[in-house]
Amino acid sequence: MSLKQTARIISTYTGDTSGVCSALYELGGMTVMHDASGCNSTYNTHDEPRWYDMDSLVFISALSETEAILGDDEKLIEDTVRSARELNPAFIALAGTPIPMMTGVDFEAVARQIEEECGIPAFGFDTDGMHSYTAGASKALGAIARRFVREADNKDPALSVNLLGLTPLDFSVTGTERTMKKVFEGAGIPVRASWAMGSTLEDLAASAMAHVNVVVSSAGIGAAKVLRERFGIPYVVGTPCGKRFNERLVRAVRDSARDGECRVLPVSDPAARRLVIGEGVTAASLASALTLETGIPTRAACATDGFDGLSRMQVPQATDEDDLLPLMEGAEVVIADPLYRPIVPGSARFVPLPHEGFSGRIWRRDIPDLAADLTRFIDSNGLAR
Amino acid sequence: MIRRLGAEAPCQEIRIADASYPAPFTGGLEYSAPARGTWNIVHTGMLIPEAHEIFVCAQGCLRGVVLTAAEMGVPERFSTVAVRENNVTDGDLEDSLIEGVSDILEKLPQKPPAVLVYTSCIHHFMGADLDHIYKTLRERFPEIDFTDCYMNPIMRKSGLTPDQLMRRQLYSLLHGAPRRERTLLVAGGDFMTDDAGDLVTQLRQNGWEILEIQRTHTYDEYQTLAGAALCMTNQPGAIPGGRLLEDRFGMPHLHLPVSFDYDEIAANWKRLGEAAGIPVPDSASEIEKCEAALSRAKASIGDAPVEIDYTVTSRPLSLARMLLSHGFRVTKVYLDGISGEERDDFLALQKTCPDLLLSPTVDPVMRVRPRETEETTLAVGQKAAYFTGTDRFVNLVENGGFWGYHAVHGMAEMMREAWETPKDAKSLIQIKGWGCSSCL
């Protein structure tokens, strides 16, 4: 991590608070960001492409200076309980922001009190807006896995999977979540639940019926570990991406179903002169897929909060401009969100790959569905040679 | 396809006769409707020509402002320093800010003449020594003007709001300039006053020049604003800026609110005319122009319901009152509080139109309420357009450069056009910063 933590010109990945909201968006709950103002409009303008057309109960607490100084959690509790009684959500999630972190709000305790008062399951997340969305989404899906997933009775012996870590922050709303399902269903492996796009809370609650979890982004790692711990379900880390990588992914799923071992599939080649920058799992998966499809080695850099599988993928973490610049030295091709372009060395060819979690809605219509058609991406960007 | 929750929940909507002033609704959790035309502190700060903005805050807070600048197409005028947990626990907020800002400035291809450094709630709560920060930066970069700006929404109920502070700080970089006689500085608004309106035409006809930050294109040109002979503001958020100009440069400050009431407009003109030593516009002919525009609008809109929201003007109740007195069927005004400037309008409407509905915009129930109306509705403002689901709406924010009689006939014309020419609300109202450049 750079000491100066500066960005002269590039954007920033969205924060962990938004990650909580995004992960839980479609599950029928009510998410409250404990914040003064700002987090709500940032989230629903830049981070949440579903905001206009799909209702979800995401609010802020409208924290004031006086409440923060006095440690007045009662207002948060009363306001949340009142709205919950009016709107009857399936669960309540509280997500922290910088000031509650500084004043030491005990979100778990506040959630317990809310649950006692209104009888609705409640979670508290100690997010603080100082980590990337992957951390918040991972915590949120992990909590769902711990609280709602039931033991599987009469588990069907036929192989099935769950997809973990699907949020628009990594996959936008271009239909990638449906394509990913088709990758496995096309191989005769049903997808029981997509965590958490296109599935209901009830679908997720039945996830223990699956035999393997596929972690398609680091947002899914929290749930994967909980489901491993609670039900012994192994997980495979890798994002569907291109024909050859998908074949390996399906094979890895079958292997994990057979031997019960977890697998981290993508591998970055540290010596490669082609570089993908982005979220760790998706960037590494794309790097692996490009290597397989083109025969040209490609490496990845994780610019978000990572997880303990990054080292196994040989993916370095670099969250600031100062950390990223050395990684780009010597690169012939840099594949990254268009907002990285200003810091890419002139000697490298830049290939734009818009990422909702970085540039928001600006290039949403240009976000490709790499699970469906990596070939087009390779051809249109001259990556085959 | 729109997916609605369809929950049945009571809304805080209330008849104006039953509403309290200045807070008609109970506070609580808050919802944010996807109408994004109002400006934020990034848009406003960019009004200073050639200035560079540096935001120093947590990653989650940086996100919204970074992408505001990116969508505006001005990322080269914008940089960030992330505050992380280690800065809070180590207590090195001052050093990390100074070193971060210095690092950015050293790397910029060309040093800007002015830098707006935005600190955040964290600096406020940790008691960061802002004086030391700015003193050090000024010593390190004597060729650059630094000013303090704030992204601390937690202070929105304590003293000046971030919006008021931003509008005031727009003028904090002025050094002082020779007095320019017969010049009026219209301060603190987002938009340039419309040249076609009575303010600009009347002053120009009498040999006065209108100065506005929006009319300056270089930092040097901006500096000439300090020489204005007179300053006026026209919305509550701009008042601290007007006071700063008066205190620092001896520029008499008049607060003359935007209004839709002929008497109030005339009174504003009287004060301005006396201060500037110029005649006021002929009220009879101005009112005739307003009445004609209102008649055309009424003939077109007829008895269709009209709903107004507070983002379109700083005087939504004054607008409602004027429209109701001219036979328009105003059924609802969306607002979350009532400003001091609207007190008389509120009290008058309680008596004359007791059934006029007031609706909150941030109440969580607004998330699940039906967003369509039985009758085709004219919405005045982006939030009203969203909540009514109409495609006939006035797409304007924060007075849009209207003032004086021009506000009345300009708004009437916009209402007529909006009624006669449907628009795609979804694509228009989600664009940030109405009137700014946008790459969307």
At B156, the pLDDT band (50, 70, 90 cuts) reads: confident
How far, in whole angstroms, is CA B354 from its chain's centroid?
Answer: 29
Total residues found in chain A within this entry: 385
Tell me what pLDDT residue A1 has: 47
At B34-47, the pLDDT tens digits run 999 999 999 999 99
**Which B residues in the span 201-240 are in contact with A, Cβ-Cβ below 8 Å?**
none
At A81-139, the pLDDT tens digits run 999 999 999 999 999 999 999 899 999 999 999 999 999 999 999 999 999 999 999 99
CATH architecture of A152-264: 3-Layer(aba) Sandwich (3.40)
Contact A59 B29 (CB under 8 A): yes
Phi/psi at B273 (nearest 5 deg)?
-60, -40
CATH class assigned to A274-380: alpha beta
**Buried-state track B367-391, b at ≥16 Cβ within 10 A, e below 16:** bbbebebeeebbbbbbbbbbbbebb
At A313, the pLDDT band (50, 70, 90 cuts) reads: confident
Tell me what pLDDT residue B7 has: 57
Helix (H, G, I), strand (E, B) or coil at A244: helix
Residue in chain A lying closest to B11 (CA): A86
At B90-143, the pLDDT tens digits run 889 999 999 999 999 999 999 999 999 999 988 988 889 999 999 999 999 999
Q: Which two tokens stand for residue B84?
A: 């992380």
Say if A16-131 and A274-380 have the same CATH topology. yes
Q: Range with the lowest mean pLDDT among A252-266, B40-54, B80-94?
A: B80-94
At B349, the pLDDT band (50, 70, 90 cuts) reads: very high
Query: For the structural domain made of A16-131, what CATH number should be given?
Result: 3.40.50.1980
- Enter the ipTM: 0.93
Residue identified by tokens 């030391």 is: B132
Alpha-carbon distance values, B94 to A4, B15, B82, B287, B391 (Å)? 12, 51, 13, 56, 50
Cβ atoms of B386 and B34 closer than 8 Å = yes
Helix (H, G, I), strand (E, B) or coil at A264: strand
Residue in chain A lying closest to B99 (CA): A4
Helix (H, G, I), strand (E, B) or coil at A32: strand
* pTM for this model (two decimals): 0.95
Q: Does B29 touch chain A (CB under 8 A)?
A: yes
Question: Which is nearest to B304 in space by CA: B326, B322, B331, B325?
Answer: B331
Question: Is the per-residue pLDDT at B1 higher than 60?
Answer: no
DSSP A136-174: HHHHHHHHHHHHHPPPPSS--SS--EEEE---HHHHTTT
Q: Which two tokens stand for residue B276?
A: 């500037």
At A26-63, the pLDDT tens digits run 999 999 999 988 888 899 999 999 999 999 999 999 99
Cβ atoms of A82 and A76 closer than 8 Å = no
Distance from CA of A298 to the nearest CA of B (A): 29
Question: Which is nearest to A380 in space by CA: A364, A368, A362, A363?
Answer: A368
At A10, the pLDDT band (50, 70, 90 cuts) reads: confident
At A7, the pLDDT band (50, 70, 90 cuts) reads: confident
At B8, the pLDDT band (50, 70, 90 cuts) reads: low
**Which B residues in the span 365-424 are in contact with A, Cβ-Cβ below 8 Å?**
365, 367-368
Q: Which residues does chain A have within 8 Å of residue B27's beta carbon, measured at their own beta carbons?
A: 62, 79
Tell me what pLDDT residue A3 has: 59
Question: Is the per-residue pLDDT at A9 higher than 80?
Answer: no
- If one compares B47 and B155, the residue with the highest pLDDT of the two is B47
**Residue extents of the structural domains in chain A:** 16-131, 152-264, 274-380
Average pLDDT of B141-163? 88
B231 beta partners: B185, B253
Q: Are strands A235-237 and A263-264 parallel, antiparallel or unpaired?
A: parallel
Hey, what domains does chain B have and what are their CATH numbers? 14-33+283-429 (no CATH), 49-169 (3.40.50.1980), 180-276 (3.40.50.1980)
For residues A19 and A357, what is the distance between their CA atoms, to the nearest angstrom? Answer: 9
At B209-236, the pLDDT tens digits run 999 999 999 999 999 999 999 999 999 9
Contact B28 A83 (CB under 8 A): yes
Distance from CA of B386 to the nearest CA of A (A): 9
Q: Which two tokens stand for residue A210?
A: 């699956």
At B251-272, the pLDDT tens digits run 999 999 999 999 999 999 999 9
| Mean pLDDT over the full length of chain A | 94
Q: Which of A3, A59, A63 sits opposite B31 (nearest CB)?
A: A59
Contact A86 B5 (CB under 8 A): no
Q: Which of A51, A54, A59 sits opposite B364 (nearest CB)?
A: A59
SS (H, E, C) B299-312: HHHCCCEEEEECCC
Give me the percent of chain A exceeding a pLDDT of 70. 99
Tell me what pLDDT residue B159 has: 80
Cβ atoms of B304 and B377 closer than 8 Å = yes
Phi/psi at B301 (nearest 5 deg)?
-80, -30
Identify whether B22 is preceded by a cis peptide bond (ω within 30 of 0): yes
Q: Which residue type occupies B69? A: A
Tell me what pLDDT residue B90 has: 86
Give the A:B interface size as CB pairs under 8 Å: 218
Q: What is the DSSP letter of B77?
A: G
For residues B350 and B344, what is the distance between their CA atoms, to the nearest angstrom? Answer: 10
| Mean pLDDT over the full length of chain B | 95
For residues B267 and A217, what is the distance between their CA atoms, to the nearest angstrom? Answer: 63
Total residues found in chain B within this entry: 440
